[in-house]
Amino acid sequence: MIKVRVFNGPNLNLLGQREPGIYGQRTLQDVMQELEQFAADCGVQLDHMQSNSEGKMVDAIQQAGEDGVDYIIINPAGYTHTSVAIRDALLSVDIPFVEVHLSAVNSRESFRRVNFFSDIASGVISGFRGESYLLALQAILNRIES
């Protein structure tokens, strides 16, 4: 059974109320429940965490290395555009990861085009709101099967 861990960065705990025109009406709990159901249907062991703190995300990524996680799905949120520390943590544990975004980051403000993750990600899925996470898991499954 493959182990997938999902990391959600700052302000994603406010999904549903936060800029719904950009991020949608669904809460993080709604989105994660749908993903957990999809994972269970596919026989994937999946868990998830959310933090507003960069250090907590680094600690959790290091823990994923110790826990033998096979794949990471990460939405670094605002840290996408700033965090050398989270990038270094992902490189340190050497776990392949898919970067996801609810919004189409490259079609937004120019500062969102600065990205510390895309060049080391297995792939990037952006712009499909909550469905981005399902597509990321499907992409991981396709890669494992091929």
Q: How many CA atoms lie within 13 A of 12 on its CB side?
A: 29
Q: Which of 23, 71, 79, 133 is catalytic?
A: 23
Whole-number minimum distance, CB 69 to ligand DQA, in Å? Answer: 21
Per-residue interface string for the shown chain with ligand DQA, residues 112-141, x marking contact by CB under 6 A: x-----------------------------
The one segment of 32-40, 50-58, 77-85, 114-122 that binds ligand DQA by CB under 6 A: 77-85
Give dist(CA 50, CA 57) in Å, integer. 8
Is 133 catalytic? The answer is no
With beta carbons less than 8 A apart as the criterion, state whether 51 and 60 touch.
Answer: yes
User: Which of the residues 88 through 117 are near ligand DQA (CB under 6 A)?
Assistant: 101-103, 105, 112
Rounded Cα distance between 49 and 8, Å, is 6
- What is the Cα–Cα distance from 8 to 76, expressed in whole angstroms? 6
Cross-strand partners of 123: 98
Q: Could you say which of 3, 11, 48, 128 contacts ligand DQA (CB under 6 A)?
A: 11
> Of the candidates 13, 16, 38, 78, which one interacts with ligand DQA according to CB under 6 A?
78
Q: Which residues partner with 102 through β-bridges?
A: none
- Tell me which residues touch ligand DQA (CB under 6 A): 11, 75, 77-78, 80, 101-103, 105, 112
